[in-house]
Amino acid sequence: MALVLAPLTARAQEGFRDDAGRQVAVPAKVEKVWPAGPPAEALVYILAPEKLLGWTHPFSAEAKALMTPAAAALPVIGRLTGRGNTASLEAVVAAKPDVIFDVGTIGPTYVSLADRVQDQTHIPYALIGGSLAETPALLRKAGTVLRVPDRGEALARYAATALDEIAHRIAAVPAADRPKAYLARGPRGLTTDVSGSINAEAMDFLGAKNVVPAGASGGNLADVSMEQVLAWQPDVIITIDANFMAAVGSDPLWLGIKAVKEKRVYLAPRFPFGWVDEPPGPNRIMGLRWMAKLLYPRLFPEDLRAETKRFYELFYHETITDAQLDQLLGAPG
Q: Do residue 20 and residue 150 come from a single domain?
A: yes
Q: Do residue 113 and residue 59 come from a single domain?
A: yes
CA torsion through residues 160, 164, 165, 170, sign: positive
Domain count, the chain: 2
* Whole-number Cα distances in Å, 267 to 65, 76, 198, 251, 314: 19, 27, 19, 16, 24
Q: Do residue 78 and residue 218 come from a single domain?
A: no
Q: Do residue 86 and residue 33 come from a single domain?
A: yes
Q: Do residue 96 and residue 133 come from a single domain?
A: yes
- pLDDT at position 219, please? 79
Residues 6+ apart with CB under 8 A from 139: 43, 47, 152, 153, 155, 156, 159, 282
Which of 101, 135, 160 is the endpoint of a domain? 160
- pLDDT at position 5, please? 46
Residues of the chain under the 70 pLDDT cut = 1-14, 84-85, 331-333
Is 313 a domain residue?
no
Dump pLDDT digits (tens) for 285-324. 999 999 999 999 999 999 899 999 999 999 999 999 999 9
Q: Do residue 27 and residue 146 come from a single domain?
A: yes
Q: Do residue 143 and residue 276 come from a single domain?
A: no
Is 18 a domain residue?
yes
Question: How far apart are the C-alpha atoms of 32 and 147, rounded to whole Å?
Answer: 11
Q: Do residue 215 and residue 148 come from a single domain?
A: no
- pLDDT at position 9, please? 39
Is 226 a domain residue?
yes
Is 328 a domain residue?
no
Is 167 a domain residue?
no
CA angle 223–251–260, rounded 5-degree value:
80
Q: Do residue 129 and residue 202 come from a single domain?
A: no
Is 306 a domain residue?
no
Is 58 a domain residue?
yes
Q: Do residue 296 and residue 184 come from a single domain?
A: yes
Q: Do residue 103 and residue 199 come from a single domain?
A: no
Residues recorded for the chain: 333
* Residue range of the domain that includes 61: 11-160
Is 19 a domain residue?
yes
CATH code where residue 93 lies: 3.40.50.1980
Which of 103, 127, 160 is the endpoint of a domain? 160
pTM for the model stands at 0.92
Residues 6 and 119 sit within 8 Å (Cβ to Cβ): no
Dump pLDDT digits (tens) for 46-64. 999 999 999 999 999 999 9
Task: For residue 31, give the nearest of 104, 106, 97 by alpha carbon.
Answer: 97
